Structures are given as C-alpha cells and as structure tokens.
Chains A and B, each alone.
Chain A
Amino acid sequence: MRFSRILMLALLALVAGVAIAFLTPSSSLLGLFAQAVIYAIFALGVGVLLRQNGLTSFGHALFFGAAGYAMGVILTLDWFSAEIAIFVVLLGIGVLAFLIGLVIVRVPGIAFGMLTLAIGQMAYLLATRSRGLTGGADGMSIPWPSTLFGVKQSVLLKPDVLFLIVWTVLIVVTLAVVWLLRTRFGSITEAVRDNEERARFIGITTTVPRALVYSMSAVVTGVAGVMSSLNTGFISPESLHWSVSGIALVMVVVGGFKSVIGPILGAIVYFLFKELLGDFATYWMAIFGAALIAVIVFSPDGIAGALERLMKPRHTRANATSKSGH
C-alpha cells in the first residue's frame, strides 16, 4: 500500500474518531472507549516486538507502569514541567529499553519470554514494596498541572476531548511505526527475523537492530502508560503485573501479529468482551480464554489475518504478484 494511501486512511480514522466523540451519548461510554484505545496502544507496542523481532515479551507492563510511575515521581517532585516530563520519560524509556535490549535480545526462544517475565515481575514486586513516595501497594496519584500544552485540565479531562486525544495519539503512533518499518531499518530487522544467520552473512550485525526494535516497542508501550496516567491520574503496582503483559500478548495474537494494526483489533475485541459481554456474563474472562484458543487453533494469523484472506483474491504461482508489505 502506498504511503499516501495510508495517510488518507489515517485521516479517515481521525474523522471517524471525531464522529465517535460527537455521537456517543454517554460520557462513561466514551471513557471506556478511551481506555480501549489506551489498551490498543499498549498492544501495538507488544505487537511490534513480536512482528519485527519474532520475540515474545511477557514483561512489557514494565514500560507501561514505569511511564506512569516516572510521571508521578517527576511531577510530585516538580523536577520538570509536565510537557518536558513526558518527553523525558519517553526518552528515558527508550534508552533504558535499548540497553536492556542489547543484553536480552541475544537470548533465544522461550528463555527470552521468561527473562522478560522475570524483569517485569521484579518491577512489580519492587513497586509493591517501596513505601514512601511511590506509595507501595496502594500506588500514587499523579499531580498533573492545571494546564497542559496550554489547555486547561478541566477541558482536557472532558470525556470527548480525552478520547480524541488518545485516539489521535494512537493514529500518530501507528503512522510512525508503519513509516519506520518501511525504512531501511525495517528491512534490516525483517531480514534478521527471517533468517538471522544469512543476515550476518550479508553484513548485518544482528544485535543492535533488534535492540532498537525492542526500544521502539518499549516507547510505544510507554506512550500508552503516559496516556493512562493522564486518563486516571493514578498509578499502582497492578499496572506492572505480568498478567497485564499476558493480556496484551493475547490481544496481539487474537488481533494478528503479522499486521501492524492487528494488535489494535485485538485490543478492541478484548474491550468488547470485557465491557459488553461483561454485563451479561460474569465469566467473560473464560469466554475470552475460549475465544483465544479458538483463534489460535483456527486462524493463527488472528483476526487481521482472517480479514486479509477474505479481502485478497487468490493468486497462482505463475503470475505471482508481491504480497502487501504488511
């Protein structure tokens, strides 16, 4: 798909977001939509890692929660203005993740997943136990200032405004990811994922590109963390628990990790199960678990894969055309 076409789709999505904001009658529903969008950004980060590096992270909640805690600490101690704080936090997460990545991307297969699980759980346990500024198991509130980027907090936190903000952030971040993956950097990481040995034999050092992808995925998840901290004004160790990472991974798989937007679809499905089905069935988690199993067994490419198969006509090998770069 040409990038200009993608930009158009993004614009359409933006318009759709405005429409949703206007037309949704209840503000609590809009609040739920905003949460769903935040889940979607989180899942996007986890999905990028799986797609580009072939690595499964069970610990991305680390970056999600760390973003929230960092904002909380910085704003409480009044080190920077909120606008600068956001930038600093995301940069910090990027750098930290890159350094961690340099070490851990070399660990293969399941061991990588276990490593991320361990790192994530350590953060969770540390957060539960550190009383004082971060509030231990109770968490801490995040003192956002009265104006952010010139906009009054009272306006910012209105359900339709907040929804539009996170919706726009989702679109922008997705565009950034798609663009990055189409650059040389994207090709290099694709090659490394496809055939690591041959990648080395055509001159690609394989550790740095993969660490960069890990860093990128961490920053995306960090963005979700910042959005979440704005949405709730609060952060607690629960945001760092491995089950949160696990759910994000499930969203990625259900949505389809081969497509960049697959994870977003997965997040929407999760939200639908949780909020809509949850009203009718207390055991929506079990149904979601069953849905997960069904997807893996019958459509390993997830929902995005199924959609792609429905939309593309079959082609023969004789006049094979290139599949979309997604």
Chain B
Amino acid sequence: MTSYVLETRDVAIHYGGVKALDGVSLTLGKGQILGLIGPNGAGKSTVIDAITGRRPLTRGQVILDGQDVSQLGAVERRRLGLSRSFQRTSIFGGMPVRKQVELASYKMGMSDSAADAEAVLEELDLARLGNVMAEDLGYGEQRRLDLALALVGRPKMLMLDEPMAGLSVKESHDLAQHLKALTSRWEVSVLLVEHDMDVVFGISDVVTVFELGRVIANGAPAQVRADPRVREAYLGSSA
C-alpha cells in the first residue's frame, strides 16, 4: 500500500443539525497538489479546518504521514508538518515581515530559521519588504505573507485556503507557478482550495469536487472536467 502524506477517513463535522462535512475520505501523496473545488458552502474551508484541527471532528480520522493526528490540537499538528494559510488574511500586523516569518520558522524547529525564512521571503518576493510592518503592506503583499507563514519550516503538507482571493489575473497566475515550482522542489504536498478554475485545473495533479459536505468526484483534472455529475452540479456547460 502506498504511504500517503495525508489521509482523511470518513471525516464528518456535524453541529446543530447542519452536516458541514459528511464522510469525507481523501488521500494525498508526496509532492502532489490536490485541487479542491465546489460551490460556496460546500464545505471546502471546513475540511481544512477539520484537517488542521481548527474544528473538532464529529467522526472520522485524520492521518498525517501514517500518524493519526485526530486527537491532537492545531499546535501539535503544525509542529508535525501540517501547515495552512487563511482565506481571510491572518498575519501579525504589529510585527515586521521578516521577524514574523523567522519566528514561524523557528517554531517549526528549523536549525537555521533565519536562512529558511529568507529563502521563503525571496521566493514570494517579500524579501525587499522584510523590515516593513505587516499592517503597512498592500493587500496582495499581505496575502503572500500569510502564505509565507505557512510555507516556512519545510512543512510536509500545506493547506491553502483560497490563496488567490482578491489577486489580479496576472498575480494569481504568477503565484500558481511559484507554488508549483516550490512544491516540486521542496516535496511539499498541497491541498488547494480555490475558485479560479484555470489555476486549479492548471496546476493540480488531482482534482476533488465537493458538494454539500461530500466528495462527488475525484481524479485527474481532465477526467473530472469531463464528469457529467460535476458539470451539472458545478461547472456548468461553459467549463
């Protein structure tokens, strides 16, 4: 049996009569990019919350690199290499860029956190803004900082929640290329939640489609694109 970097088994989150997630089973191999798409409210952000430990599971398991992390908190999961970015930018406004990225790297146990941080900052074109207070950055720069905080410390598994939100077409495209290059170079696995279809189908190795808290399709991009159920539920005839 191939060993997966990330595996979710029948993960469910129910609360107050709402089934935000209803039995989600995913797998992701090393260095793979999984694109997660689906209509709004389908549960895409919730699955990231479930996997990273931001919200407790009603049932199911999350397994990171063979280890069951379902009972662990967000902090421990991060330290084990499970990292995430946020849909609504979540950074440390009152700290300079370099300082917070380096801190994040340090907390991941990197022996040379400064070098690691610098590498990530270079990659995301933030190095020249290293001394700027995060709250003084522009929107796009802040999104990249959010991403940088997730990227440092050589995580095994990166969960990206709409990283392109609010970016221009060109910025999105550039970022997508960056991600593709980075993940193959550093052998990071990525779960990417995104609305931009071109990006998702462009860089993903696997595409998973969500609807109402469940997986309705899963496979190679071309295959998923052609799937009639997906076209009907989500893509429409224009895809």
Contacts and interface: CB of A to CB of B under 8 A. Distances in A.
- A–B contact (CB under 8 angstroms): yes
Interface of A: 184, 187-188, 190-191, 194-195, 197-205, 317, 320-323
A191 B74 contact: no
Nearest to A206: B75
Given A191-B100, A320-B132, A321-B131, A202 B78 contact: yes
A198 B92 contact: yes
Contacts of B153: 203
Given A191-B92, A322-B131, A203 B79 contact: yes
Interface string B46-60: 000000101000000
B95 A205 contact: no
Contact of A194 (B73, B94, B149): B94
Contacts of A191: 92, 95, 100, 103
A273 B197 CA distance: 66
A27 B39 CA distance: 78
Given A203-B75, A322-B96, A322-B132, A198 B91 contact: yes
Nearest to A202: B104
B136 interface: yes
Contact of A320 (B92, B93, B106, B133): B133
B94 A205 contact: no
| Dominant SS among interface residues on chain B | mixed
Given A190-B94, A202-B103, A202-B104, A323 B75 contact: no
Contacts of A198: 86, 90-92, 149
Contacts of B107: 188, 202-204
A195 B74 contact: no
A323 B135 CA distance: 12
Nearest to B146: A198
11 contacts: A184-B103, A184-B106, A187-B103, A195-B92, A198-B92, A198-B149, A201-B83, A202-B103, A317-B136, A322-B131, A323-B133
Nearest to B153: A203
A195 B142 CA distance: 14
Contacts of A204: 75, 107
A194 B93 contact: yes
Contacts of A199: 92
Interface string B18-62: 000000000000000000000000000000000010100000000
A188, A195, A205, A321: most-surrounded residue (chain B CB, <10 A): A195
Contacts of B83: 201
B207 to A, nearest CB: 26
Interface size class of B (residues with CB under 8 A): 20 to 34
A200, A202, A322: most-surrounded residue (chain B CB, <10 A): A202
A197 B90 contact: yes
A297 B74 CA distance: 40
A203 B133 contact: no
Contacts of B180: none
A190 B95 contact: yes
B175 interface: no
Contacts of A320: 131-133, 136
A201 B52 contact: yes
Given A184-B106, A195-B90, A317-B136, A203 B95 contact: no
Nearest to B86: A198
Given A195-B92, A200-B74, A203-B107, 4 more contacts: A194-B93, A200-B78, A201-B75, A202-B103
Interface in B126-155: 131-133, 136, 149-150, 153
Contacts of A188: 103, 107
Contacts of B136: 317, 320
Contacts of B99: 187
A324 to B, nearest CB: 11
Contacts of B84: 201
B216 interface: no
A1 B153 CA distance: 29
Contacts of B79: 203
Given A194-B94, A198-B90, A322 B104 contact: no
A300 to B, nearest CB: 15
B90 A194 contact: no
B93 A195 contact: yes
Contacts of A187: 95, 99, 103
B69 interface: no
